[in-house]
């Protein structure tokens, strides 16, 4: 069945105008443009194909969309069904919050059970192999700096790729400010090897932290003056480096798993690693974020030594 893509403008109903606000909020909360694009495509396909406004949609229709064959032509896996339901439900919850609607047709639907694959992290030796596979070109030095920053800080992809020059502070030590999940702001010590790799990369791109504008990306790209490297380009580069290093294909998130694994290997407790990754409950995370804010990181040096930087 062909999909009719919806075009939104000020003359259309409130729920369609709210579409833009929903996506803007989603980007602010997630910090990921890829997530916003995925939600936009999925919602436009859902409402465009159905040809109904949200207040006329029934639970069975949402069920049919979630379990139906998509653009790939294949039967959806449980994780895809769950993602479709989460996307549609999230938009309905937003419309309810905006007092445009009062009910969510997804509430009557059962979410599929998904057995997540066990987290997989790279060992210190595998990280060394990965770094060795990266060329000493400007692009390679930039990507190496990103990989070191992800591995030594344990931050999420968007939290690192969205870093700007103004997020780096050298007053009283080396620190970086990031926007975490849910839009929370954090400040942590920037490991020295990551900082030195960033400086080397910027030099290769004929840039300097001292003269760059605070709003410029830390990760230069020949296709953008200030916005910097895109997430998709870095993902593709990382896959190529993994392949050249003889390592299994993986996404960028494997570096966050690697950061946790290496911290445990360096002797940190599970509780310490949980705090390092902001993985506690909301109440506990809030307490520990206050404790960690701007404080030194006593374990990055052990991880850096393990991976040879």
Domains in the chain and their CATH numbers?
Answer: 14-108 (1.10.150.130), 124-307 (1.10.443.10)
Return the pLDDT at 257. 85
Q: How far is C-alpha 260 from the chain's CA centre?
A: 16
Q: Of 167, 158, 146, 152, whose CA–CA distance to 209 is shortest?
A: 167
pLDDT at 274: 76
Taking only the tens place, the pLDDT of each residue in 169-208 is 998 899 999 987 767 788 999 999 999 999 999 999 999 9
Task: Specify which of 199-203, 253-257, 262-266 reaches the highest per-range mean pLDDT.
Answer: 199-203
Give pairs for 225-233: CB < 8 Å, separation 24+: 228/161, 229/142, 229/146, 229/161, 230/33, 231/32, 231/33, 231/34, 231/157, 231/158, 231/161, 232/34
Per-residue pLDDT reduced to its tens digit, 229-239: 998 899 999 99
Range with the lowest mean pLDDT among 112-121, 134-143, 177-186, 261-270? 112-121
Q: Is the pTM of this model over 0.75?
A: no
The yes-or-no verdict on residue 273 having pLDDT over 90 is no
Tell me which of 162-166, 269-273, 282-286 is least confident: 282-286
Task: Please report, rounded to a whole number, the percentage of residues in the chain having pLDDT higher than 90.
Answer: 51
**Looking at residue 11, what is its pLDDT?**
56
CB neighbour burial string for 175-196, b if at least 16 within 10 angstroms, e if fewer? bbbbbbeeeeebbbbbbebbbe
């Amino acid at each position: 069945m062909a999909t009719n893509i919806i075009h939104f403008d000020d003359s259309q109903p409130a729920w369609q105008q709210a579409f833009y606000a929903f996506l803007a909020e989603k980007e602010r909360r997630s910090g990921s443009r890829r997530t916003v694009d995925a939600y936009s495509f999925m919602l436009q396909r859902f409402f465009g194909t159905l040809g109904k406004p949200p207040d006329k949609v029934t639970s069975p229709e949402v069920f049919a969309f979630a379990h139906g064959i998509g653009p790939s032509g294949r039967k959806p896996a449980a994780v895809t069904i769950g993602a479709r339901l989460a996307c549609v439900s999230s938009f309905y919850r937003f419309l309810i919050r905006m007092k445009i609607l009062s009910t969510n047709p997804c509430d009557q639907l059962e979410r599929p059970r998904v057995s997540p694959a066990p987290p997989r992290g790279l060992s210190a030796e595998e990280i060394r192999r990965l770094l060795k596979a990266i060329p000493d070109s400007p692009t390679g030095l930039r990507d190496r700096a990103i990989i070191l920053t992800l591995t030594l800080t344990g931050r999420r992809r968007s939290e690192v790729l969205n870093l700007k020059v103004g997020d780096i502070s050298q007053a009283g030590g080396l620190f970086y400010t990031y926007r975490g999940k849910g839009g929370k702001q954090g400040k942590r010590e920037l490991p020295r090897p990551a900082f030195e790799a960033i400086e080397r990369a910027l030099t290769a791109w004929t840039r300097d932290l001292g003269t760059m504008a605070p709003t410029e990306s830390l990760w230069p790209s020949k296709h953008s003056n200030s916005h910097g490297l895109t997430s998709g380009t870095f993902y593709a580069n990382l896959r190529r480096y993994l392949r050249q290093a003889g390592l299994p294909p993986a996404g960028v998130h494997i570096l966050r798993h690697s950061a946790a694994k290496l911290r445990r290997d360096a002797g940190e407790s599970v509780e310490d690693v949980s705090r390092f990754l902001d993985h506690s409950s909301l109440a506990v995370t809030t307490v520990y974020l206050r404790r960690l804010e701007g404080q030194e990181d006593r374990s990055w040096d052990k991880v850096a030594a393990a991976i040879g930087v």
